[in-house]
Amino acid sequence: MPTLVYGVFDGVPYDNRKKATPEVPTDINLESLTEFNSGNPLSVFLSERGFLVFDPNVSLLSALTKHFQTVAKECCGKCTPCRTCSALISRQLNELNGEKDANFWAELKRLADHMMATSLCGIGKTGPRPLVDAITYFPDELKIKSDNATQGFYSQKTSPCIEACPGLVNIPRYIDYLKDGHLDLSASTVLMHYPLVGSCGRVCVRSCESACKRGQIDQPISIRNLKRFVADKAIASGVLKPVKSSASQKKQVAIIGAGPVGLSCAYHLLNMGYGCDIFEAKDKAGGMVRYGIPVYRLPKETLQNEVDIVTSMGGQIKFNQKLGQDFHIDDLFNKGYAAVFIATGCPEGSYLGMPGEDTSLPDYENGIEFLDRVYKGVEDNKPPVLEGDVVVVGGGNVAMDCCRAAARVAKDTVHLIYRRTEADAPADNEEIEAAKAEGVKFHFLCGQDSLVVENGHIVGLKVQDMQQTEPDASGRRGVKPIPDSVKVLPCAHVIAAIGQRTEAKMLIDADKIEVNRKNCIVVNQAQETSRPGVFAAGDGTAGPRSNGPSTMIMGMGQAYFAARAIDRYLQGSEDVSFDSRWRLTEMLKSGQLLNVQKEATPLKLNQSRVTLHELDPQVRKKNFEEVEQTMTQDEAWQEANRCLRCYRIYSVMTAKPIPGCK
């Protein structure tokens, strides 16, 4: 743990310079502040909660001066207190030359206090906090200003919703642009992080909304649906057009997999000026977003428009090219590619593993196979027809996709069984409610036992009632079977929607790429594999940011950082694995440093969240038309105006320069 010399955190001053036993804040993890990058200890940490000094010889005044430069730069200028005071304070600190008297610091504090009390967003409300605390509790430390060239400094504007987003999308910014009527700029803000804006605006799991501070007041901002609105209005309409990459000046990268992860990595590399060839095993791009998400949630025209963004920028997609079958990693390097990125995902579904089960039965499918079959049927205008009752096993979003798709093609009842409680189901609650509205019958605390087969066809599934166990050390409650509770649930089809797997034969020993026991590619924090020049991300990887099958936005977030790492690798960086933006996110999360206190926002209380219009359940369960409808412009403006814009600025000063930071 680093030694805290002095500082102020959450209004509590700490001064350990003359104490045998140091006092430290107890509600954060100080170990996360040991180093910023390897061998480079933190000297000062500054945030909306105060500041902490770990080096007795560092100039706090220098750190505050640099921090306030970021505050002034990030001020949007919309409110007078922040616009005026941030510029005045920053200039005063920059021009400071020699020791100032108490009146100078009192005036500076007055400006900072006024800025925090009257500004309209988080930049002005929280940015001056370290300066105010320093003037209040440690004025003697503001006498020495030393700009040591051997020190490092990094500062970043962020917010709870940004940090919760695996893609680190600047959510308040695209909402701001939407409010101002600049839909092209709003969409461009999201496009800085991935090309699948409209798709993500429909199927994202919305971790950002779980972190939204508006939810502490009434309801979270409808962030995903606002993203969908700007995508539909600015991208799908053709208002915003991508710029073709000038790839001729840089090296070529081979991307394996044209799903959302591969497309996103190619998109970022094309933006950097690299050429990208994308090798796709199937005859169309999109991966599981195309084949696994039903069209009633995501129209494939939306996805294709986003694929076209990548190809219009110069990305070349080579279809029907499967890793391990049509080519190997060595083949790509032999053809002159300077780096390889693997994004093959987990394209195979899992079965239930029940005693004596026969996976060749015509009425027994895994969820991936079933969704693929439904997609192809709808694409050919010949959806499959399921006679008899259908049982879907699982509790995640794939299970919801399966049972909702089944409800549209089954002539009889669709059942879903899940061995835990509804509260434990990992699926989005909105998906569960939608499935219920479409007639799916749910059986919670119900586990599968075995298939009942007659004359080569399924006639039922033996199920068993489950009960919760006592909480374990972590507080999680397991489940166990209730004795003598086995019964038969009559059905003609069983769909196993319990997980996905990688393809076991994809990699060979000659590829020299390490995989774990689940056949996922092992990667480090830069998404690097064990083979130099080969990177990987998405569902088929295991590393600091990933551990097997996850979500589309998680994979695209990994692709964003992988592209940055590939760029560093191709430029010959000594430390490919270090990324200052990712390190800050990691530090805030592991250190529990992101403030979770409620915002003081009396001006915006009690504004209802906009609810999307949907097709009537009795109508939609008979077809595959898109269920949720895009917001109207008035609804989007109404929802955008609920945003509190609760930005925070975090700054670190380190003992040595930080790679990539000037």
Report the DSSP beta bridge partners of residue 339. 253
Report residue 426 as tokens.
């990992």
Helices and strands (DSSP H and E) totals, the chain: 22, 25
The pLDDT value recorded for residue 569 is: 95
Residue 640 near residue 222 (C-beta atoms within 8 A): no
| CB-CB neighbours of 411 under 10 Å | 11
Residues of the chain with pLDDT under 50: 602
What digits encode the pLDDT tens for the residues 31-70? 999 999 999 999 999 999 999 999 999 999 999 999 999 9
Strands (E), 472-555: 477-490, 493-496, 500-501, 521-522, 534-536, 541-543, 546-547
Report the DSSP beta bridge partners of residue 7. 14, 52
Based on the number of CB atoms within 10 Å of its own CB, is 94 exposed (0-12), middle (13-18) or buried (19 or more)? middle
Residue 78 CA to residue 118 CA, distance in Å, equals 12
Q: Distance of CA 301 to CAs 233, 274, 298, 310, 623, Å? A: 14, 27, 8, 15, 17
The pLDDT value recorded for residue 549 is: 83
Based on the number of CB atoms within 10 Å of its own CB, is 328 exposed (0-12), middle (13-18) or buried (19 or more)? middle
Domains of the chain: 6-159+647-654 (1.20.1440.230), 161-240+600-640 (no CATH), 251-347+502-582 (3.50.50.60), 349-498 (3.50.50.60)
The pLDDT value recorded for residue 602 is: 47
The pLDDT value recorded for residue 654 is: 96
